[in-house]
Structure 1
């Protein structure tokens, strides 16, 4: 049984004529007869009684008619829905992000994407980079954006955009007027840090190891669950911190904190896109990925 057979069956039943049905279907009368015969053979019943001037439904035909009509209606509804997905008139995607991209970058990009594709619903989940990687592994999200490289056999992790970490201090801090300090001097000040699952923290630990420093040797001021809280703590003079420039941009511009260069410490990093290797890419996620990878979009709204 296929849709062409059902469509031919419905038209013959409604018009009570193979010839008239063939005309509407732009088929030959023998071709319509072949479709009906194939359907009858598949169902192993006769669907029509053939008379001299018209054909009428058998009992089996009368049973099939409303079901076939409903099946064709469902097919047409599915086709319209799929066409809408293909044309990006509707759809739903779930994006997971660590704090920096999730709070400072993606909301703006999602807003601009929604202006272009208003029918697509986007859910944004924000957590630590490790949790985002876990969401991708368990296929709870379509795409992950993280502040650290996420390893895993089932994952594909590729660089998205560059970020720079900056050392920030309270404007009245003794380092604020220096402009730069040696990396080794970080051991002399309490450091306000994000939690262990944070991509920023992972990157800081890696960068410190590159210059033979350990986070354990730096006095721990506070451990906080969000970058906004870290910046606020620095503003309050509770310690110094290393955060993303994207996150610190507003506080730096308003003079609430000061940036201090760290000599001997590489402060550059990448933000990453994380996908499941076996994931199926739908129309909406493909369009969104192309949008956030568009250099013109990034330069206009982020960089």
Structure 2
């Protein structure tokens, strides 16, 4: 049994497909089938049930799966520790982020970091804030960035960037020409397009409105969508108004596809947060990246603040 076989096993298990796993690993399907067959022969147990459209773990496969994940994480930590000794000439960093930082902020900063440290590979995984926090707790990523704070056991959370949520509307909307904006209580007279429940933006909005004794569930909602891009597109299409991150909507504002409506009486500023495992060993690569993205001048340069 070797780590390449375990990696192949995990990808097949997670994607439920030999073809998709082979594509993910940039090898042929016969090659990944050979890896799995060798692993099954070594363990003397079948690990997958082959179906017409997908493969499923056998009982033996379900026993191996969590242990294989632990072994590969441990192996990766050993590799990273050795690579760190080379003075950041090589290395690999796993970063997880919620939608706003993951789609609109971190790609720009990672580009700048790669110019300074071209030998360090960075993998960026984007998911909901709760999933990112789970990855941090389970040590599946080195650093998490979310739109809400987490102070659970096993997580060290610190504020990072300031993010401003703003009210947007299509140019044809009746609120679009109100230079003075609208009062927060007037939101109930509009129809909103919202992010799904549990998202960082949605939770921040719910908390801010609750401070004003306003229940978001009482405001008419046209639809809930799973991404900020989809929300902005829905507003552009005239399906309602929404409250989104300025980082996300900047391009649409500049192109005139949506307009910002001042919202009187509600402070929608929030922080984005850095999450790390409270007992994580750290490393030169992650420390260098955290220092890079925490530099205010660097953020201004790359994020056009």
The runs of 5 or more residues in structure 1 that have no matched partner are 1-77
- Counting only pairs closer than 5 Å after superposition, residues 246-261 of structure 1 correspond to structure 2 as 246-261=247-262
Listed one character per residue, the Cα deviations across residues 231-283 of structure 1 (whole Å, up to 9, x for unaligned) are 00000000100000000100001100000011111111001001110111011
Aligned residues: 225
TM (normalized to structure 2)?
0.71
What is the distance in 1 between the residues matched to 2:83 and 2:232?
47
TM (normalized to structure 1)?
0.72
The runs of 5 or more residues in structure 2 that have no matched partner are 1-77
- Kindly indicate whether the alpha-carbon contact (under 8 Å) linking 1:85 and 1:91 is maintained by their aligned counterparts in 2: no
Listed one character per residue, the Cα deviations across residues 151-208 of structure 1 (whole Å, up to 9, x for unaligned) are 3021111110101000000000000001300101111111111111210111000000
What is the distance in 2 between the residues matched to 1:82 and 1:131?
29
Instruction: State the Cα RMSD in Å.
Output: 1.6
* Paired position in structure 1 for 2:74: none
C-alpha deviation, 1:84, in angstroms: 6.0
What is the distance in 1 between the residues matched to 2:109 and 2:171?
32
What is the distance in 1 between the residues matched to 2:131 and 2:285?
23
* Paired position in structure 1 for 2:29: none
Query: SS of the counterpart of 1:274?
Result: strand
Query: SS of the counterpart of 1:184?
Result: helix
- Counting only pairs closer than 5 Å after superposition, residues 74-223 of structure 1 correspond to structure 2 as 82=82, 85-179=85-179, 180-223=181-224
- Kindly indicate whether the alpha-carbon contact (under 8 Å) linking 2:84 and 2:285 is maintained by their aligned counterparts in 1: no
Runs of 4+ off more than 3 Å: 81-86
- Kindly indicate whether the alpha-carbon contact (under 8 Å) linking 1:114 and 1:120 is maintained by their aligned counterparts in 2: yes
C-alpha deviation, 1:82, in angstroms: 3.5
- Kindly indicate whether the alpha-carbon contact (under 8 Å) linking 1:90 and 1:120 is maintained by their aligned counterparts in 2: yes
Greater gyration radius: 1
Query: SS of the counterpart of 2:262?
Result: strand
Question: Which is further off, 149-158 or 264-273?
Answer: 149-158
